[in-house]
Homo-oligomer: A and B are copies of this chain.
Amino acid sequence: MDTATEKHSLTTLRDRLADYMDKKGLRSTAQRRLVTELFFKSDGHLSIEDLWAKVRRRDPKVGYATVYRTLKMLAESGIAYERKFGDGVSRYEVAHEDEHHDHLICTECGRIVEFEDEEIEKLQEALAKKAGFRLTRHVHELYGHCRDCQAKASA
């Protein structure tokens, strides 16, 4: 494992991407550099539309399909995760190595909070094994109202 300071650095992400593109013979274009940079710097959980908006502030000529295809590339390379929460829109987030988390989603304001729980991971692994399954991935999303929205509701 990397040291704590460089574990989540942008440099690491850029290197991983460069390796992947090199191996696959993919080309480095101005559009791809723009899309990936803005993606890496974002908070995560962006829809294609969200990222496209950011990209177009810098270069209005970039097409939706390019952002779409670049995010797909990031997902295939393992640098991004593609998530579908309940609203029918795909969202993407940076996939930091050796880190895994799930999500709490506020159905009032759309806020997304990440969580990790070793205990739950172990239980689900054990339970899958008992059912004869070998797990490859899982989806664990908790929907509800965040503190702020509860306060607003009772005000």
Contact = CB atoms under 8 A, between A and B. Distances in A.
A70 interface: no
A139 interface: yes
B147 A128 contact: no
Number of this chain's copies in the complex: 2
Nearest to A133: B144
A132 B113 CA distance: 10
A145 B136 CA distance: 8
A141 B140 CA distance: 6
30 contacts: A84-B84, A86-B139, A107-B136, A115-B131, A117-B124, A117-B127, A119-B123, A120-B123, A123-B123, A124-B142, A128-B144, A131-B146, A132-B147, A132-B150, A133-B144, A133-B146, A134-B144, A134-B145, A135-B142, A135-B144, A136-B143, A137-B143, A137-B144, A138-B140, A138-B141, A138-B142, A138-B143, A139-B139, A139-B141, A140-B141
